[in-house]
Amino acid sequence: MDRQTATRQLDGLLLPFLHTRDEAEAERLLGLLVEEQAAPIVRAVVKRKLRASLRDSDGRGQNQDALDVAADVYADLLEELSGLRAGRHERAIGNFRAYVAGVAYNACHRYLRRKYPERHSLKTRLRYLLTHHSDFALWDAGEHALMCGRAAWSARPATASGDHSPDDLAARARARLGRVDARRAQLWEVAAAVFDAAGAAVELDELVNVVAELQGVEEQQPSRDEGEETSAARAEQLADASAGVAEELEQRAYLARLWAEIGQLPPNQRAALLLNLRDAQGRDVTSLLPHTGVAGLRQIAEAVRIPAEEFAALWHELPLEDTRIAERLGLTRQQVINLRKSARARLGRRMREFEGG
């Protein structure tokens, strides 16, 4: 596809960002695309698919995972749009909102596949059953929603399967099975019982949840060890003054690689990250870079695009509050938060590759 044809097929929302020659304006427009156009869609998809609140104050593990998934989506979108502007690829994004929803759904599916392999295996078997058994059907109801049920129902308008909880539907399906143990029943028997209990089509994910409950599908939850910690959390741990000398060389190598990856971030992401890089106790982590010899103050100043003399005056005020960073960058506080989340998500992926060898 030639560039002119690709441009004609692009969503008009993207054109101001792609066509401006002012890099600062491009950064601003990119932030607006993610914050105003993409973020509401991403949050809606992730909240629905992962059943999370997405509130920063919600410390539940599932919600924290969901926040990470959303941050990964933002990072992917920033990287994709930056690449589109730089001409590294010519993807035709004719509907930006639909594209964002697709990226968010794919990220959720990847997360669920990794975290719940048994559930994913069940979902794969159910999809096969629904598309190969003559009594059942699986169809697209739009907005990335897959509905399933009796084959005759596929011609009906897409509707919810009724006002019930998964536990209630499972109880009613169990009653339909009578004396048949759902754990030993054929998969088609269990699916049929769920459909009959619902009396209408159900979403595929709802079917998976109910069948998993009926058949006792459970995940083995591995214990959390250092290899599973996020790279951002490990970077925070480097601020622990009690770290032994034996760890110093490993930490310095890690920081050196981290600094190299930070240098590959877009300028505003670098600034949002480095000017507010804290450990779990709220202490400044950026100062570790010159302390370990990884990067000097002048190099850090260049990375955040602040004159060295001015940055030296700010040095003892780090980490800066987001409102001050927003003023420096000409952005909103929320844009700064989104930029930093995206930076940490991207660094997390790169550093996991580094740690994996």
pLDDT in tens, 32-56: 888 889 999 999 999 888 888 888 7
Q: Residue 284 gets which letter from DSSP?
A: B
CB of 78 closer than 8 Å to CB of 342: yes
**Continuous H helices in the chain:** 3-8, 15-19, 23-32, 39-50, 61-86, 96-115, 117-132, 166-177, 187-198, 204-215, 231-237, 245-262, 267-274, 288-291, 297-303, 308-314, 322-329, 333-355
| DSSP string computed for 38-76 | IHHHHHHHHHHHHT----TT---HHHHHHHHHHHHHHHH
DSSP state, residue 321: P
How high is the mean pLDDT of the chain?
A: 79
Give the whole-angstrom CA distance, residue 105 versus residue 111.
Answer: 10
pLDDT for position 317: 80
Peptide bond into 319 cis (omega under 30): yes
| pLDDT (0 to 100) of residue 244 | 43
Neighbours of 13 (CB within 10 A): 17
- Our CA dihedral for 188, 192, 193, 197, rounded to 10 degrees, sits at 160
pLDDT of residue 175: 93
Q: What is the pLDDT of residue 1?
A: 43
The residue that leads in pLDDT, 283 or 160, is: 283
CB atoms within 10 A of CB 124: 12
Would you call 216 helix, strand, or coil by DSSP?
coil
Nearest-angstrom CA–CA distance, 85 and 19? 8
Split at pLDDT 50, 70, 90, the class of 220 is: low
Specify whether the CB–CB gap between 265 and 344 falls below 8 A: no
Residue 83 confidence (pLDDT): 82
pLDDT tens for each residue of 290-323: 777 788 888 888 999 998 878 877 887 888 888 8
Higher-confidence position of 262 and 89: 262
Predicted pLDDT at 250: 58
